[in-house]
Structure 1
Amino acid sequence: MEPGAGVARPTPRASATTRPFWDGCRRGVLLVQRCRACAAHTFTPQDFCRTCLSCDLDWVESGGEGVIVTYTTIWRPQTPAFEVPYVVAVVALTEGYEMLTNIVDSEPAEIQVGAKVHVAFRDVAPDVTLPCFTVVAS
């Protein structure tokens, strides 16, 4: 049996707080919250700013550019729904926030800390699109 055959991939569920983020991903737009009081970006979606605790947050479009802060290559999946190898990384985006994500369309041996990346959306279920990242050729 092939990896993932007959096994549903676990997918995130939107809440009232996260719905704008997931709706943006479905449209191919990376959204992030920005505080109206201090202009800090907040990710993961929250009801308040992590910097100043204001509840006055807007959704703004992120440029989707960043660098890999750290990563790991998964060779043995937690569930058969995932094909290996796959790369899980923390990406620091230019707006000043970090995101846990997958690096796609790159060989694991070619991925390195400090590599520039760009968002690449992947449909993983009929109603779920994930923001993944690809390495930008230098």
Structure 2
Amino acid sequence: MSSAYDKPLPMPFHEELSRPFWEATKRHELIMPVCNDCAQIFFYPREACPNCTSMDLSWKGVSGKGKIYTYTRVRQTVHPSFQSEHGHIYAIIELDEGPKIPSNIVGCEPEDVYVDMEVTAIFEHVSDNYTLTKFKPA
């Protein structure tokens, strides 16, 4: 990267719970929590399975492939540092393995994005602590 990343970064809501996710993104891997009792893969990281409430959880690598479940084109930025990204796409991606994850769509024009568009994960290293997961057309 030629310059320091100067935009606000996501802050983990519970660092202990989300640390494995952020560590995996640094390795350009996408992992999700999985319930060891009912096999439900889910996102966001939390203390109990949202399907069966079991607390017997582990982490599982996922493909990073999926489709756009829904999206919006951001026309008004919420922070001055995002002004250069006016018109970017914020989407909910339904991964092939089932869970949905919020992210940005990159690598295409905003008007080319559509629901059910196939996408694949890419990783943007933005600081020593964060590598962001974004998606591009497959």
- Same fold per superposition (TM over 0.5): yes
Alignment of 1:3-82 (within 5 A): 8-14=6-12, 15-82=15-82
Q: Give the letter aligned to residue 9 of structure 1.
A: K
Do the aligned partners of 2:106 and 2:134 also contact (CA within 8 Å) in 1? Answer: yes
Deviations 1:19-74 (A, max 9, x none): 00000001100010111100001200011100000001111101111000110111
Deviations 1:63-113 (A, max 9, x none): 111000110111221111112221100010011110111001111011000
Structure 1 portions without partners, runs of 5+: 1-5
What's the TM-score once normalised by structure 1's chain length? 0.90
In the other structure, the counterpart of 1:3 is none
Q: Size of the alignment, in residue pairs?
A: 132
| 1:7 shift after superposition | 8.9
Q: SS where residue 25 of structure 1 aligns? A: helix
Larger CA deviation: 107-116 vs 73-82: 73-82
So what's the TM-score if we normalise by structure 2?
A: 0.90
The gaps in structure 2 that reach 5 residues or longer are none
Give the whole-Å Cα distance in 2 for the aligned partners of 1:113 and 1:124. 28
Does the aligned pair in 2 maintain the 1:7–1:81 contact within 8 Å?
A: no
Higher helix share: 2
Structure showing the higher strand proportion among its residues: 1
Instruction: Report SS of the residue matched to 1:16.
Output: helix
Q: Distance in 1 between matches of 2:24 and 2:111?
A: 31
Paired with 1:38 and 1:132, the residues of 2 have a C-alpha distance of 28
Structure 1 segments of 4+ aligned residues over 4 angstroms from their partners: none
